[in-house]
Amino acid sequence: MNLKMKIQKLGGFLAGMVIPNIGAFIAWGLITAIFIETGWFPNKELATMISPILTYLLPILIAFTGGRLIYDQRGGVVGSVAAMGAIVGSDIPMFLAAMVLGPLGGYAIKKIDKLLEGKIKSGFEMLVSNFSIGILGMLLAIGAFYIIGPIIASATELAMLTINKIIEAGFISLLAIIIEPAKVVFLNNAIDQGIFVPLGALDILKQKQTLFFMLVSSPAPGCGILLAYSIFGKGVSKKSAPAALIIQFIGGIHEVYFPYVLMKPVLFLSIILGGMAQISTWVLTSAGLAGYPHPGSIISFLIMLPKGGFIPVMSGIIAGITVTFFTAAFFLKLDKSVDSEEDITLSADIANMLKVPNSTMENKTIQNSEVLHIKDLTTIIFACDAGIGSSAMGAGILKKKLEEAGLKFEVTHMAIDTVPKNTKLIICHNNLKERAYSVAPKAKIRTIVNFLNDPNYDILIKEIKEGEIR
């Protein structure tokens, strides 16, 4: 497993703890934006919910989800109790501790249950089952209170101090050099959920708003790229860009613009410059959001605005779009190649750039060669990093194509790391193919590059009609 895949896997796991609880984050963000003393409708009584939700509810939900990912309900319970030790033992939101202690609690109780398997006398199963959770939870909570919590609190405060020094020195816009390329290669969840969400939560507790929630979620660079393609692109890329623009900017699914950057790597410079422009503008205008804007849609940004935050936040968004658009337009205008709509597709362009075969792409090189007979196929799984954004859109597109072809199959979407091992057919982005193979080695894996109009949708449907997937 290479470094990129390991980071993607970590990001996917972190997202798997945070994203199922996004509704709670939104509820907290709305309460904060509306009812704090500087909010839209200040209310002292209702504002008393803000701190407890941030300090207790959200970290416990994350810890429970992390433990449950490892070992179902029992793992979730132990993970929550363990996280409570760190939460009570610190005066800052313990998001990072929850992300560590939740899975740790799940792993520990899983190992203990395995150790006790077959060794419990009949009639004592419930007693041992409950007390194993209770004793382990107590020990982990004590350890978290005295050791893990203080370590993570110190590390978080050090990170905040370091970033504040970077902001004071005027270098924070340089974060775009890391953030924007990382998003395009599907490392956005590792950065956002692993770093900026915990820092943003701490920042809101102190400042009532935060810049950190916007750094990865902003739709501006992607919007600038797709707008440039809509006007100055060629062939299929120009035709598909307007639809992708609507989905990315309003729907908040950023993955749709990644192929347009990968197709012409010089555009990495455009999104970096756009990212730097928006961050610089936000810092100059003291912009911030009162809650976490997920998905990264302009609608989410507007909903999470603090009172008086419209002009500062939108100034940064406009700056990011403008700089990205003009630099991308410049590079696209410089490109004198002639694209034939009959001979080229967006997917084939990117496949060629990445040095992988197009059409059937890498399907033959990464998986077993056994033929999958359609009579054995009942469910098709569309997987993405977090299982809630691009995979949901891709599953919807595939369902529609199957219906148009008169084919009836269940199409579901999920996080790639939660795909069952016995899955027969997985659809995922080309960048996630190795992870798909690692979770379901016997599955047929079909990859796409462009979620909206990849030719591999039609290739798959053709194979299904023929009765075999090779």
Window from 102-106, 257-261, 372-376 with minimum mean pLDDT: 372-376
Amino acid residing at 439? V
Structural tokens at position 77? 């319970």
The pLDDT tens digits of the residues spanning 107-149 come to: 999 999 999 988 888 888 889 999 999 999 999 999 999 999 9
Query: Taking residues 226-249, what's their average pLDDT?
Result: 90
Q: Which residues pair with 427 in a beta bridge?
A: 382, 446
pLDDT at 361: 40
The torsion angle over the Cα atoms of residues 240, 246, 247 and 250, rounded to 10 degrees, is 170
pLDDT at 146: 95
Res 453 pLDDT > 50: yes
Res 363 pLDDT > 50: no
Q: State how far the alpha carbon of 150 is from the alpha carbons of 87, 91, 156, in Å.
A: 10, 10, 10
Res 105 pLDDT > 90: yes
Q: Say if CB 104 and CB 136 are below 8 A apart.
A: no
Query: For residue 192, what are the contacts with CB-CB under 8 A and spacing of at least 6?
Result: 215, 216, 217
Q: Say if CB 58 and CB 24 are below 8 A apart.
A: yes
The pLDDT tens digits of the residues spanning 63-95 come to: 999 999 999 999 999 999 999 999 999 888 899
Window from 155-159, 208-212, 315-319 with minimum mean pLDDT: 155-159
pLDDT at 371: 81
Q: How far apart are CA 115 and CA 336, in angstroms?
A: 66
Higher pLDDT, 141 or 377: 141
Task: Say which residue the tokens 């950023």 belong to.
Answer: 254
Res 303 pLDDT > 70: yes
Chain centroid to CA 77: how far?
Answer: 25
Res 187 pLDDT > 80: no
pLDDT at 53: 94
Closest CA to 427 of 409, 405, 411: 411
Q: Please report, for the chain, how many H helices and E strands are present, in that order.
A: 23, 6
Phi-psi label, residue 287: left if phi above 0, alpha if psi -120 to 50, beta otherwise: beta
The pLDDT tens digits of the residues spanning 57-71 come to: 999 999 999 999 999
Which of the four pLDDT bands, split at 50, 70 and 90, describes residue 344?
Answer: very low
The pLDDT tens digits of the residues spanning 189-235 come to: 778 887 888 888 888 888 889 999 999 999 999 999 999 999 999 88
In the chain, what percentage of residues exceed pLDDT 90? 46
Sign of CA dihedral 428, 430, 435, 440: positive
The pLDDT tens digits of the residues spanning 384-442 come to: 877 777 888 889 999 999 999 888 889 999 888 889 888 999 999 887 888 888 888 88
Sign of CA dihedral 388, 391, 397, 401: negative
Which of the four pLDDT bands, split at 50, 70 and 90, describes residue 359?
Answer: very low
Active site residue 384: yes
Considering 361, 384, 428, 448, which one is annotated as catalytic? 384
pLDDT at 193: 80
When the pLDDT of each residue in the chain is averaged and rounded to a whole number, the result is 86
Query: Taking residues 6-14, what's their average pLDDT?
Result: 77
The pLDDT tens digits of the residues spanning 124-134 come to: 888 999 999 99
Q: The pTM is what?
A: 0.77
Closest CA to 426 of 459, 463, 467, 381: 381
Q: Say if CB 285 and CB 331 are below 8 A apart.
A: no
Residue 200: its H or E element: helix 197-207
Res 51 pLDDT > 70: yes
Q: Report H helices in 208-257.
A: 212-215, 220-232, 235-249
pLDDT at 389: 76
DSSP per residue, 427-443: EEEGGGHHHHHHH-TTS
Q: How far apart are CA 108 and CA 156, in angstroms?
A: 25
Res 357 pLDDT > 50: no
Q: Say if CB 421 and CB 439 are below 8 A apart.
A: yes
Q: State how far the alpha carbon of 157 is from the alpha carbons of 21, 54, 202, in Å.
A: 24, 17, 9
pLDDT at 134: 96
pLDDT at 376: 81
pLDDT at 45: 94
Q: Say if CB 301 and CB 213 are below 8 A apart.
A: no
344: Cα within 13 Å, side-chain hemisphere: 17
Domains and CATH numbers, the chain: 207-344 (no CATH), 347-469 (3.40.50.2300)
Q: Say if CB 107 and CB 79 are below 8 A apart.
A: no
